[in-house]
Each structure stands twice: as structure tokens, then as C-alpha cells.
Amino acid sequence: MGMGENGEPSGAESAGAAAPQAASPLAELERLQQALTEAEERARSHREQYLRAVAELDNVRKRAQRDIEAANRYGLEKFAAELLPVRDSLELAVQSADSREADPRSLKQGQQATLQLLAKALERLGVTPINPVGEPFDPTRHEAMLAQESAAAKPNTVLQVVQPGYELNGRVIRPARVIVAKAPA
């Protein structure tokens, strides 16, 4: 190490010693600026992803709203399409009844055919009859019209169906009107 006149290190050596100390804060500043730039870029990227997610969520909400509106508007379309053949059959029956050649047997056959068309249409739509003869009375599915004494049937069982009930996909849309057995006096 070279020494100057008064015993201090020479200028070249002192500049070399000061440079690492001065370079260290500059390197730290550059590193911090680089980290800040990267953090800002990540923040921008996350904001863009957030905005895309919000827009996608809004699109899904709007699409669901349109689907609900369409279902409300056109939900009965399948039902109507299933019932149109029944209507056609009834129109033919009315026209046949007006003609002079209509005989009661053919009118009855036409009515039976129309009833079968209606039963098949309802079945395809998920409507099934409730016919609980012999079953225990269930107030959630049956409406008791009368309690009748019976020695042959257990009390609280359905003796007779006055009017059949119907379910739509397992949900009661009309309870069966029934006569319920009660114990003889």
C-alpha cells in the first residue's frame, strides 16, 4: 500500500476503497427500482385479471338472466306441443258428431283414443296419476272427502278414489280426493 506524505493512503487507494461503499447503495437502489418495477407489473397484471374476472362474472349473470327470461317465456312450449294432438283429436270428434253418419260406437272409440293421447302426453311431461286405493291415507297426497265404515279395510286406508290426483315429477299438483275407511261402530 502506498502512503502519502503524511502517512495517509494515497488518492488512488482511497478512491478504490470508497468505490465499493458508494457502489453498494447504487446497486441497492437499482435492485429496489427493479423490484418496484416488477411489483408494479404484477399489480397491473393482477388488476387486468381482476377486471377480466369481473367482466366474465357480469357476462355469466346476464346470460343466466336471459336464460331465465327465455324459460319463463317459452317454458310451456313443450307442454303446448304435447297437447296439440289432443286438441286436433277433439276437433275431429266434434266434426264427426255434427255429421249425420256418426254412430255412438265410433264416437266412443274416438273419445277413448283422445283420452289415450292425453294420458301419453301428460306422461311424457312427467305428470303421473295418484291412485291410492288400499294405501294408508296420506294428507300430503290425498284429500279425504268422506270417512266410511268398513270391516274389510284397515282404518285410515283409502277405500275409493273419487277423483284421481296428479304429481308433476314427484310434486303433488292436485291431491287425490278419496273415501277413507274407518273402524265399524
Q: Which residues pair with 174 in a beta bridge?
A: 166
Residue 178 lies in a domain: yes
Q: What pTM did the predictor assign?
A: 0.59
Residue 26 lies in a domain: no
CATH of the domain at 162: 2.30.22.10
SS3 165: strand
Per-residue pLDDT tens over the stretch 146-175: 999 998 999 999 999 999 999 999 999 999
Q: Say which residue the cell 253418419 belongs to.
A: 101
Alpha carbons 124 and 79: distance in angstroms, whole number:
9
Supply angle C-alpha 76, 80, 86, rounded to 5. 155
User: Which residues form the domain of 153?
Assistant: 126-185
Residue 9 lies in a domain: no
The phi, psi pair for 149, rounded to 5°, reads -65, 140
Q: Which residues pair with 147 in a beta bridge?
A: 180
Per-residue pLDDT tens over the stretch 81-125: 888 999 998 888 888 777 766 677 888 888 899 999 999 999 998
More confident residue, 23 or 62: 62
Rounded to 10 degrees, the C-alpha dihedral 99/104/106/107 comes to 70
Closest to 171 in 3D by CA, of 140, 146, 144, 132: 140
* Domain total in the chain: 1
Residue 8 lies in a domain: no
Residue 121 lies in a domain: no
Residue 150 lies in a domain: yes
Supply angle C-alpha 93, 86, 111, rounded to 5. 40
